[in-house]
């Protein structure tokens, strides 16, 4: 099998990659499943960048910034503002990093401090939110459907070097 040149698929084309046309290298276990999940992750990250702008994408550690932001949003949606120490513990990040990123999100107006805790502001209510969330939901549903098809097709699993439950190493 020949791997495709890196310039054959641009980042702009990831939304339109037809998975059936791509043959992942057999040396990578569960390659097709990983391909689908990677496409989902990249797609979701790109939509976050598109929705919330350059402030999130320009940061040298934007992955950490987004992760903390997602966790603060989760806790805000649960009506429980969250302390920096709790965020650091939950995400296994240094508290110094969490504090720095929270300050950055406060500077951009996405996070506010309530006592010793933090919560998202109304700035997360971006224009066309329903359409943007539906796009993310569609990506997740499509990926879940493709993963389900892979699970149901043993011949496809063998072709992509996918480990079936009977082939997985025993764990003690």
**Residues 60-92: tens digit of each pLDDT:** 667 889 899 999 999 999 999 999 999 999 999
Query: How far apart (Å, rounded) are the C-alpha atoms in residues 27 and 17?
Result: 21
The owner of tokens 């391909």 is 35
Q: Which helix (H) or strand (E) holds 165?
A: none
The owner of tokens 């791509």 is 22
Q: Has domain 59-125 been given CATH number 1.10.10.10?
A: yes
Tallying the residues shown for the chain, one arrives at 172
pLDDT at 22: 78
Domain ranges of the chain: 29-56+127-163, 59-125
CA-to-CA separations, 39 to 46, 93, 140, in angstroms, rounded: 10, 25, 10
pLDDT at 54: 65
Query: How far apart (Å, rounded) are the C-alpha atoms in residues 51 and 33?
Result: 27
24 with 160: CB under 8 angstroms? yes
pLDDT at 160: 47
Structure tokens at 102: 């929270």
* 113 DSSP β-pair partners: 118
Name residues of the chain where pLDDT drops below 50.
1-7, 9-11, 13-14, 16, 157, 160-169, 171-172
Structure tokens at 35: 């391909």
Query: How far apart (Å, rounded) are the C-alpha atoms in residues 106 and 127?
Result: 20
Query: How far apart (Å, rounded) are the C-alpha atoms in residues 115 and 80?
Result: 12
Count of beta carbons in the 10 Å neighbourhood of residue 118:
25
């Amino acid at each position: 099998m020949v791997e495709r040149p890196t310039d054959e698929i641009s980042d702009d084309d990831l939304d339109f990659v037809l998975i059936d046309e791509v043959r992942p290298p057999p040396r990578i276990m569960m390659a097709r499943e990983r391909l689908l999940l990677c496409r989902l992750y990249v797609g979701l990250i790109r939509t976050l960048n598109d929705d919330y702008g350059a402030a999130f994408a320009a940061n040298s550690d934007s992955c950490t910034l987004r992760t903390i932001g997602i966790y603060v949003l989760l806790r805000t949606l649960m009506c429980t503002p969250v302390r920096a120490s709790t965020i650091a513990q939950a995400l296994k990040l240094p508290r110094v990093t969490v504090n720095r990123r929270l300050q950055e999100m406060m500077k951009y107006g996405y996070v506010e401090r309530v006592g010793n805790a933090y919560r998202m502001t109304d700035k997360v209510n971006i224009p066309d939110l329903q359409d943007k969330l539906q796009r993310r939901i569609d990506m997740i549903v499509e990926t879940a459907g493709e993963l389900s098809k892979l699970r149901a097709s043993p011949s496809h699993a063998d072709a992509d070097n996918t480990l079936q439950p009977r082939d997985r190493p025993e764990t003690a």
